[in-house]
Chains A and B, each alone.
Chain A
């Protein structure tokens, strides 16, 4: 469900986190850097985050957007949990996007569950920044 368009002032705040047991954080760091260069405040939560900790960080940091990175294959176990907890805590106020190795059929199911955008290998940083900005700003 679309959220109300963002009315508050200040830079977009985005949480970048890697849920679960997954040590591959280069992609997440590259995306964090690109979002920084686009003028966003990127809260980099880093590796091995539980869904609970991710949602907690999103609440405390009052973010406009969450980006999850995963290359471990555990996305179908972890992402729905993040979405469920997030919904319990803040409703559908904060859009979530994802990146990593996510097969097409999984991506479709995750989109139905509420992940707003999914970026695979080869996605351009330009595209990620564009979509992330649109998601954070909400419908114009």
Chain B
């Protein structure tokens, strides 16, 4: 799409490829600045174009090194890449050390790569609440591929499924026996399993356990997850990893799977946003509306139970006067 004069100035600069404008817009989105609404609204029609590749997996498995290797692979093929790398915020100070950038190597002055570090800012699930919207800004900025690296994930950190079109779960040898692969959560969201550090002993074993898992059948949408062995630092197998990613992207395009998955993701996004808004709104009313404050007092005095109170809150009903 070509730049349109109808866009707000900052959005227009992003579409033109202004890196500083892109960076400032990302901050606005992260910080919930009022300017973010307008930019996201204006750019939304220009999104949904770039494949969004999510890399997730436990801490220390080599996600950042794999991102770096994939960037090199993509640049060699002439494709531009936008990267969002998320690290955790401290639950104590709110601060964070964002260290994914140290693995990045690129040619001096290469405008085909844009790397942004993000702090999770209290969100659980492996990404920040605004990561999805930051991905959209990179997409609208014209990058051919967007890579998202999550926080080092635990077994239930699966928020990347709501963002990425292809999910790569990165593992290393000796993370546990095959029963681990049966457990719910992380292993269920993989389109591709990447056994990284496969130069280490035990890689064959890890691959075998995953093969057994994959052999149990394809995912509900009909895709059978691929397994790729890599060594990001050597580097080894990065071309195969990219081939597997492209194969999944082709699979999405060959059927209506992409549209179905995107529909599901957007449905969750809309409901999440509306719920967050509603939740903040209800919280405010419960604290500030005198009638509803009385409702809270009644629960406190054991006159009604929290379930009843929550029903009344939703119905917007103030409690009846105390009959004392």
Considering only residues 55-102 of chain A, those with a C-beta below 8 Å from chain B are 57, 59-62, 89-90
Considering only residues 7-35 of chain A, those with a C-beta below 8 Å from chain B are 8-11, 13, 32-33, 35
- Cβ of A114 within 8 Å of any chain B Cβ, yes or no, is no
Task: Establish whether residues B109 and A52, one from each chain, have CB atoms under 8 Å apart when the complex forms.
Answer: yes
- Bound complex: CA of A61 vs CA of B23, how far in Å? 6
- Cβ of A44 within 8 Å of any chain B Cβ, yes or no, is yes
Task: Establish whether residues B94 and A39, one from each chain, have CB atoms under 8 Å apart when the complex forms.
Answer: yes
Residues of B within 8 Å of A53, CB to CB, are 108
Residues of B within 8 Å of A36, CB to CB, are 90, 93, 95-97
- Cβ of B116 within 8 Å of any chain A Cβ, yes or no, is yes
Proximity bits, B81-112, A CB within 8 Å = 1, else 0:
00000000110111111110110000011000
SS of A interface (majority): mixed
Task: Establish whether residues B97 and A38, one from each chain, have CB atoms under 8 Å apart when the complex forms.
Answer: no
Task: Establish whether residues A46 and B102, one from each chain, have CB atoms under 8 Å apart when the complex forms.
Answer: yes
Residues of B within 8 Å of A44, CB to CB, are 97-99, 101-102
Task: Establish whether residues B98 and A43, one from each chain, have CB atoms under 8 Å apart when the complex forms.
Answer: yes
Proximity bits, A109-127, B CB within 8 Å = 1, else 0:
0000000000000000000
- Number of B residues contacting the other chain (C-beta, 8 Å)? 30
Task: Establish whether residues A41 and B95, one from each chain, have CB atoms under 8 Å apart when the complex forms.
Answer: yes
Return the chain A residue nearest B19 by Cβ: A59
At the interface with chain A, which of B9-17, B26-34, B39-47, B158-166?
B26-34
SS of B interface (majority): mixed
Residues of A within 8 Å of B96, CB to CB, are 36, 41-42
- Bound complex: CA of A33 vs CA of B98, how far in Å? 11
Task: Establish whether residues B19 and A42, one from each chain, have CB atoms under 8 Å apart when the complex forms.
Answer: no
Task: Establish whether residues A46 and B31, one from each chain, have CB atoms under 8 Å apart when the complex forms.
Answer: no
- Cβ of B119 within 8 Å of any chain A Cβ, yes or no, is yes
Return the chain A residue nearest B108 by Cβ: A52
Please pick, from B27, B89, B94, B117, the residue contacting A43 in the complex, using a CB distance under 8 A: B117
| Min CB gap B166→A, angstroms | 24
Task: Establish whether residues B20 and A59, one from each chain, have CB atoms under 8 Å apart when the complex forms.
Answer: yes
Return the chain A residue nearest B118 by Cβ: A41
- Bound complex: CA of A13 vs CA of B117, how far in Å? 10
The contact sample of 6 A-B pairs, CB cut-off 8 A, is: A8-B33, A43-B101, A44-B101, A60-B23, A60-B115, A60-B116
Q: Known pairs A9-B33, A41-B96, A60-B19. 18 more at Cβ < 8 A?
A: A8-B27, A8-B28, A8-B31, A35-B95, A36-B93, A37-B90, A38-B93, A39-B94, A39-B95, A40-B95, A41-B89, A41-B117, A43-B101, A45-B102, A46-B99, A46-B102, A60-B23, A62-B24
